[in-house]
Amino acid sequence: MSTAADLSSFGLTGGSFITVLTGAGVSAECGIPTFRGAGGLWRTYRAEDLATPAAFSRDPRLVWEWYDYRRGICAGKQPNPAHNAITRLDGNLSNFLLMTQNVDDLHGRAGTGRLVELHGNLFRARCLECGAVDRNLPVPLLEIPPRCGCGGMLRPDVVWFGEALPEEAIRLASEASRDCDLMVVAGTSAVVQPAASMPLLARQAGAHVIEVNPDPTPLTPFVDLHLEGKAGEVMPGLVESILELVTP
Ligand code: OAD
């Protein structure tokens, strides 16, 4: 069956609530390494050794150097056709939410406004003393570790291993997962919680779920439709098919 034929059996209408969940695979075609694919090492460190509160208190300079390296890579990349297709959904649907595990800011730079960043954002920093959030640090940083106006040390405003996700982000994402009619899950290995349970919440609440990934994941057996391929190649056509069905 074709994608369009599958979609037309989902009963979508103009008022349907459509959500998208993305992971690192959506930015892979921009040249940003995924977490579990090749190229995830910096110097000799693994992400699991640097993205932790313990690593930061032991050596904030080292951890910031790694984040600044990643900020530099991401700042030099442009949103790809997958990011742009998702922005078209945001611009054309009355009920829409994107939840992303990505911290690279590419969805925001592509112009998607209704966006929940479950794991934070590489281009924000948070003061350990006063809690202020700084969105204007230069790339690359001028001082490492960077300091807040209050004199306190800033940390990257991202979620580290062993930390809870921001409460508001998880609330919005869980509610949208339960309420949506269709969830598109693109470019995630679907193994990191709680993001990985969002499609299952959606499924249990009666939504249809479509997965876009070149490889099968632990989620694949539970989805209505697995579209095998790269997000940048599959998402534009999928989005056009959805919009044809739900917009007059
Ligand atoms: P992973 O690196 O675990 O998975 C990337 C997924 O993208 C895999 O399933 C690939 O098959 C798929 N993929 C690769 N290229 C693709 C392409 N061009 N188009 C579509 N899919 C492609 O990344 P995430 O699932 O995002 O958390 O990882 C989840 C979380 O694990 C990250 O947010 C990070 C990490 O620990 C934190 O930092 C808190």
By C-alpha distance, which of 16, 17, 20 is closest to 116? 20
Does a structural domain hold residue 37?
no
Shared-domain flag, residues 170 and 220: yes
Last residue of a domain, one of 106, 139, 158: 158
Count CB neighbours of 17 within 10 A: 17
- Asked if the structure places residue 18 within a domain, the reply is yes
217 domain residue, yes or no: yes
Token pair, residue 158, equals 């991202």
Domain that residue 194 falls in: 4-32+79-119+165-246
Pocket test residue of 56, 122, 189, 220 for ligand 1, highest count of atoms within 8 A of CB: 189
Minimum CA distance residue for ligand 1 atom 4: 189
Are 139 and 236 part of one and the same domain? no
Does the CB atom of residue 229 touch ligand 1 within 6 A? Answer: no
Residues 141 and 184 grouped into a single domain: no
SS3 content of the chain, % helix, strand, coil (to 5): 40, 20, 40
Q: Does residue 173 sit in the same domain as residue 228? A: yes
- Bridge partners, residue 151, by sequence: none
Q: Which residues pair with 185 in a beta bridge?
A: 21, 211
Task: Point out which residues pair with 127 in neighbouring strands.
Answer: 154
CATH (domain of 71): 3.30.1600.10
Q: Are residues 96 and 115 in the same domain?
A: yes
Task: Supply 241's token pair.
Answer: 């098919």
**Other CB atoms closer than 10 Å to residue 78's CB: what's the count?**
11
Q: How far is the CA of 223 from the centre of ligand 1 (A)?
A: 18
Report if residue 39 sits inside a domain: no
Specify the ligand 1 atom closest to the Cα of 40. 2
Q: Which atom in ligand 1 lies closest to the alpha carbon of residue 23?
A: 26
Same domain, yes or no: 55 and 178: no
Boundary residue ending a domain (107, 134, 158): 158
Q: What is the CATH number of the domain that holds 96?
A: 3.40.50.1220
- Ligand 1 site, residue 122, Cβ cutoff 6 A: no
Domain assignment present for 40: no
In the chain, the number of structural domains is 2
Q: Which of 158, 177, 206 is the last residue of a domain?
A: 158
* 25 and 115 inside one domain: yes
Asked if 228 and 180 sit in the same domain, the reply is yes
Q: Which of 30, 77, 188, 191 to mutate to test the pocket of ligand 1 (most atoms within 8 A of CB)?
A: 188
Do 105 and 209 fall within a single domain?
Answer: yes
Residue 200 covered by a domain: yes
For residue 28, the model assigns a pLDDT of 96
Same domain for 218 and 151, yes or no, is no
- Give me the active site residues, please: 119
User: Could you report the average pLDDT of every consecutive run of 10 residues in the chain (248 residues)?
Assistant: 81 96 97 80 82 96 96 97 98 98 98 98 98 97 97 98 95 98 98 96 98 98 98 98 91
Residue 41 lies in a domain: no
Ligand 1 atom having least distance to the Cα of 82: 19
User: Cα separation of 63 and 54, whole Å?
Assistant: 10
Per-residue tokens: 6? 């599958």
Which of 34, 42, 106 maximizes ligand 1 atoms within 8 Å of its Cβ, making it the mutation to test the pocket? 34
Q: Please tell me whether residues 241 and 215 are part of one structural domain.
A: yes
Pair (223, 113) in one structural domain: yes
Q: How far is CA 27 from CA 62, 80, 145, in A?
A: 25, 7, 27
Point out the ligand 1 atom lying closest to the alpha carbon of residue 159.
39
- Left, alpha or beta for 11 (phi > 0: left; psi -120 to 50: alpha)? left
